[in-house]
Structure 1
Amino acid sequence: MTIDDAAVRLGDAEDTDLRAEARALVATLTREPWGQVSPSLYETARLVTLAPWLTGHERRVRHLLESQRPDGGWGAPGGYALVPTLSATEALLTTLRRREDTGGLVGGGGPHGRLPERVNVQDTHRILHAAGRGLGILERLTRLDATALPDMPAIDLITPSLIRSINRRLEDLARLRPEIAERLRSARLVAPPGLDRGRLDKVRGALKAGVPLPEKVLHALEVADDLARGAATVRPAATGGIGASPAATAAWLDERAAPDPGAPARVFLETVVNGHEGLAPCGIPITVFERSWVLAGLVRAGLVSTVPAALRASLRELSGPAGTPAAEGLPADADTTSVALYALALLGTPEPPDVLWAYETDTHFCTWPGEDGFSVTTNAHALEAFGQFLRASAAGGVGRSVSRSDRERATARYAAAVRKITTVLCEHQQPDGSWTDRWHASPYYATMCCVLALTRFGGERASAPVRRARQWVLDTQRPDGSWGLWEGTDEETAYAVQTLLPSAAVSAELHEAVFRSNEFFLRSAKGSGGRPDGTALWHDKDLYRPEAIARAAVLVARHLVRRYLATKTD
């Protein structure tokens, strides 16, 4: 098939104009203000243990049984399976333990007085079999060294907490039903080397002493087990949730509040599971995170030019001295703050990025003060925030209300930040030309973030790293025209296309890669109604998928491909 044929086929296949799709996507940001995010195996299993009285308990237990992999684990490959497999196995063991107390009623009595839902499964044997298979793979997964595990938030808290709980459930079952324990045939689990209980003990110690926890720790409050119940130093956010997490909220909801259907935390949980067919996501709401990423991507690509004033205002309304959190109930962070600033600047309402100075270190910008680790994507987004503001300033759009000398000093400091970030991003490029990051499993996301920022604001020094990155993308395209870490996905293919296009260095190799990616998008859209394929790649306590963000990325990539093909066939 020729490129001309591809262009015709492109027009025939896409009945809906991409700009109209983009506008419709923007409309969903207001219609679904908490955000569009996929369910989490980890979080759903935590609700099985912590809130068996919550609407949809039967659905959640059934989901655990139906989503178990053939090898006995849950979740993504390799070390990514550790946390979801621990959570699902613990939930099933807790379910078995409750059956011994309630004569087959899997849910337990529940704090609010009504009987739980019966789980619609064949019998205890199915739950027992699934838990035994989970324990089998956990004996292998827990032998992984901590350095071999993905850098997931709170993994050093969640892992020892769930191992402790699993071991207790096994002891309970051995005491009550030795025949069940014999069928499970599991030794006590031990935490992976390098993941000790040190930080977990500090969290528990703080709760015992009545010391407030750092805001970001509340996102994983469930690790504190019984100490989380009604903890006096913990207060729900305006949404009713704790730490933007269903699991943390369920762990905190004590027996006095749970019976009240109007209790804010209870309403939060019911709202979340009702919106996810009985399941639960890791992080919700994700309001500012979702709106910033979607709007920045669509506006940068030219798919939308204006957005409702309320949406623009929402990017500012949670902002404080420390910047902007991803949503109500989470701490402010440099990543969300940077993308919100960048989106506002693209929308013609730039604000000085001075709030980012709170995150500056000697060498880079951290996601949170005191962060363990380093994020290239946070720094790429900070580069865009500083760089775009500098461009707006040079165009005369900002800064006229301050003196010339103050403006010059601020401009010099912003320019120094641009140089610093450019240096650190170039230094963190992998030998093969890619970048990897702690907030996304796929190197295609991190590579796109770095290439987009460096291309626009990195100057001449960034040109060679950008060329290497684009060559890596060309070299790793799959035979079906897609890109992906474990398999080809719409989302990762969208990031790869955005890394390649637009490019001044047009070549036959690039031509072929774009043509093949177009074929992949056409096949994928035909099979899924144009929606991303659903693979969860973003890091939280479990891998998750921010639906609107993934969809926006695909729309942008399809737009870039369409524009490229149209240009090359004129």
Structure 2
Amino acid sequence: MTTHGFFECQATALLTEATADDLGQSTPSVYESGRLVSDAPWLAGHGQRLQALCASQNADGSWGSGERGLVATLSAAEALLSVLTRRNSTHPPRHQLVNATALAVTRLSHWLGDHLHPPTLPDTIEAGLITPALTERIQQHLGRCGRTEPPFLPPRASSLLLAHPKGCRPTALTRLRATIREGRPLPEHLACIWEILAPATDCPHRCIRPRAGTVGCSPAATAAWLGAPGTSSAQQRAGLSYLHRVQDRYQGPVPASAPTTTAERARLTALFARHRIPHTPPRALLASLRAALDTQAPCPPSSADDIAAVLYALLHHGDRLRPDRLMLYYTSDHFRCAPGESGPSPVANAHALETLTLYTARRADDRGRYRPVRRKTLQWLLTQQHPDGSWRDPSHTSPYYATACCTQALATCAGPVARPALARAAAWALATGRPNGRWGQAPHGTDEETAYATWILLAGAPQSAAARHALTAAGKILHHAHISDRTPALWHDKDTYAPLRVLRATRLAALHTLHHLPDRAPTPW
């Protein structure tokens, strides 16, 4: 097989695989699994979820990576406390749960016990609401610990007071709960955190209207809304079926969001189009993307970033859709990413700029309409570059992801005005590479971030000797890279996660780019 044929075969196989998958491929979420342990012990897979929580705990008692794991640690700790206070027989054995819980509470006492120096709130979805909600539940459990016989935590645990990190919004949480009690409608984008807004009850709440059995595409929110495994209505049966299907995929643990099919299929197709990898998407995939733009779809794209990806994919494959849905997110000089966003998203604006550029290239009669939008978005994007040459984004832990997205958009859409910014980004990437040839924040870097760094270098310094050397090393690393469920979780939902199929496509796209460099070394297929 030729290398051209190899890349086309691999890309088309990923698209076919994504079309056949009705949930999407992401790593399981400690946060989401913990909420099911606490709120839905009746759901199949309960023991496996408990076992997974214990198995994934770090040696210091936390879950996740550093302070980014705060929300996951709170969720897992509260889940273990809830199981222990129920006093039911458990698997794993109770003594194992007690040890894991004691470690977790000790970790939280170090993290949140220092009221003068509380930790930084992670930039995950609605962490400002989730953190005080879980802290409140944990405090209630700890208060009861001192009255249990025999006690399963040290006596001092019952008097522990946990501080709220800066950025928490306990007052907003109280206000939202009052809104629900009064029967008033909840902002739609908050449906995905129903599990912390209203306790699980014996009957579904009237404030929420599930779509295709899901509440906010969230297993935890759906379980909390369902309350108990009743089957008195079609909506309840659909919700229960959804939960069984999601937990069955992972044999107990669940991802932070499901289904993620629209975002996954759009990102794959847009990624291959953007990097000029030959590919043939199944007709059913393109049809599903068109259908997703209907606001009544089960899980429609709910951010400017996802809508931009859907439109880019469809435009590349011949659709002539106007970007009206995308323009709903436009402000006076940039695109909002989503309702209630924690901060503006350079990545969403980079992808919106690429989509508008592709649209106006196909529709010359509409160029005048979108020229001011493109110009202002471009200017805004340039102002978001950090002094060191990088960009950061709320959707991802790593600056390499945001910087790669922004440099690719600027290189494609901006022309000479972006050259200084691209050069600064490339200099930053060269300066932050690791001696082992990788890039990234983990101790040894990650394959994902190494792929992003190759695009940053190619956009800003493709001819320098240092860049050529770095790209050669990156190519060897990516050739041997393997994406698995142990891949570091750098993407932000309510928890950090890794979109595995998207990362496999990212690796493929980076290898394709490197393969087509002038004076490249032979590709060892």
Q: TM-score, normalised on structure 2?
A: 0.92
Q: Give the whole-Å Cα distance in 2 for the aligned partners of 1:217 and 1:231.
A: 14
The alignment status of 1:251 with 2:224, answered yes or no, reads yes
Q: 1:461-503: CA deviations, max 9, x gaps?
A: 1111011112211222212211112242121111112223366
Distance 1:256 1:301, change over 3 A: closer
The alignment status of 1:66 with 2:55, answered yes or no, reads yes
Residue equivalent to 2:328: 358
Residue equivalent to 1:381: 351
The alignment status of 1:215 with 2:188, answered yes or no, reads yes
1:173 is aligned, of 145, 149, 171, to: 145
Kindly state the Cα deviation for residue 331 of structure 1 after the two structures are TM-superposed: 6.3
The alignment status of 1:92 with 2:80, answered yes or no, reads yes
Q: Which amino acid aligns with 1:544?
A: Y
Distance 1:297 1:54, change over 3 A: same
Residue equivalent to 1:559: 512
Q: Give the whole-Å Cα distance in 1 for the aligned partners of 2:336 and 2:273.
A: 26
Alignment of 1:351-430 (within 5 A): 351-369=321-339, 371-394=341-364, 407=365, 410-430=366-386
- Contact 2:395 2:492 (C-alpha < 8 Å) held by counterparts: yes
Kindly state the Cα deviation for residue 371 of structure 1 after the two structures are TM-superposed: 3.9
Q: Which secondary structure does the structure 2 equivalent of 1:226 belong to?
A: coil
Q: Which amino acid aligns with 2:129?
A: L
Q: Give the whole-Å Cα distance in 1 for the aligned partners of 2:466 and 2:166.
A: 45
Q: Give the whole-Å Cα distance in 1 for the aligned partners of 2:164 and 2:211.
A: 33
Distance 1:55 1:504, change over 3 A: same
Q: Give the whole-Å Cα distance in 2 for the aligned partners of 1:256 and 1:47.
A: 13
- Contact 2:451 2:478 (C-alpha < 8 Å) held by counterparts: no
Q: Give the whole-Å Cα distance in 1 for the aligned partners of 2:496 and 2:397.
A: 8
Distance 1:344 1:451, change over 3 A: same
- For these two proteins, the number of residue pairs brought into alignment is 517
Structure 1: state its 5+ residue gaps: 1-10, 107-118, 395-406
Q: 1:50-98: CA deviations, max 9, x gaps?
A: 11121111111111111111111111112x1210110010011111101
Distance 1:318 1:15, change over 3 A: closer
- Output the aligned Cα RMSD: 2.7
Residue equivalent to 1:459: 415
The alignment status of 1:33 with 2:22, answered yes or no, reads yes
The alignment status of 1:309 with 2:283, answered yes or no, reads yes
Q: 1:425-455: CA deviations, max 9, x gaps?
A: 1101011111000000011110011011111
Q: Which amino acid aligns with 1:263?
A: R
Alignment of 1:175-190 (within 5 A): 175-177=147-149, 179-182=151-154, 185-186=157-158, 187-190=160-163
Residue equivalent to 1:544: 497
Residue equivalent to 1:5: none
Q: Which secondary structure does the structure 2 equivalent of 1:295 belong to?
A: helix
Alignment of 1:486-501 (within 5 A): 486=442, 487-501=444-458
Residue equivalent to 1:439: 395
Q: Which secondary structure does the structure 1 equivalent of 2:214 belong to?
A: coil
- Contact 1:38 1:547 (C-alpha < 8 Å) held by counterparts: yes
Residue equivalent to 2:298: 328
Residue equivalent to 2:99: 129
Q: Which amino acid aligns with 1:185?
A: A
| Greater gyration radius | 1
Q: Which secondary structure does the structure 2 equivalent of 1:270 belong to?
A: helix
Distance 1:128 1:305, change over 3 A: closer
Structure 2: state its 5+ residue gaps: none
2:133 is aligned, of 161, 174, 190, to: 161
Of residues 281-290 and 330-339 in structure 1, the stretch that sits farther from structure 2 once superposed is 330-339
- Contact 2:121 2:167 (C-alpha < 8 Å) held by counterparts: no
- Contact 1:128 1:184 (C-alpha < 8 Å) held by counterparts: no
Q: Give the whole-Å Cα distance in 2 for the aligned partners of 1:309 and 1:156.
A: 41
- Contact 1:215 1:330 (C-alpha < 8 Å) held by counterparts: no
- Contact 2:439 2:450 (C-alpha < 8 Å) held by counterparts: yes
Q: TM-score, normalised on structure 1?
A: 0.85
Distance 1:183 1:67, change over 3 A: farther
- Contact 2:31 2:256 (C-alpha < 8 Å) held by counterparts: yes
Kindly state the Cα deviation for residue 125 of structure 1 after the two structures are TM-superposed: 2.4
Q: 1:291-333: CA deviations, max 9, x gaps?
A: 1111011122222343222211221212147xxx9x8346632
Q: Give the whole-Å Cα distance in 2 for the aligned partners of 1:65 and 1:350.
A: 51
Of residues 353-362 and 267-276 in structure 1, the stretch that sits farther from structure 2 once superposed is 353-362
- Contact 1:207 1:213 (C-alpha < 8 Å) held by counterparts: yes
Alignment of 1:281-300 (within 5 A): 281-300=255-274
- Contact 2:308 2:326 (C-alpha < 8 Å) held by counterparts: yes
Q: Which secondary structure does the structure 2 equivalent of 1:464 belong to?
A: helix
Distance 1:349 1:432, change over 3 A: same
